[in-house]
Amino acid sequence: MQILVVISSTDPEIKWNAVRLGNFLLNQNEEVTIFLNGPAADLYEGDSESFPIREQAKIFALSEGVLAA
């Protein structure tokens, strides 16, 4: 199945959880695209020890997930 996750929030927790969801779906052998809309286009803004967005995004990209903006 092809799945599209749209992120339009600048909240770091929302971005982190959305990418984690994408990674979970990739592990279930789904085809996943994450679309960054508007202010969420800067995916790494808000990356922190509490919400390691960059780490999750790296796993997503290495697992053949697609990031689009």
Q: What is the pLDDT of residues 51-67, one digit of tens each?
A: 999 999 999 999 999 99
Cα(32)–Cα(58) distance, integer angstroms: 14
Q: What is the pLDDT of residues 20-29, one digit of tens each?
A: 999 999 999 9
Cα(47)–Cα(10) distance, integer angstroms: 11
pTM above 0.75, yes or no: yes
Range of the domain at 51: 2-68
Tally the domains of the chain: 1
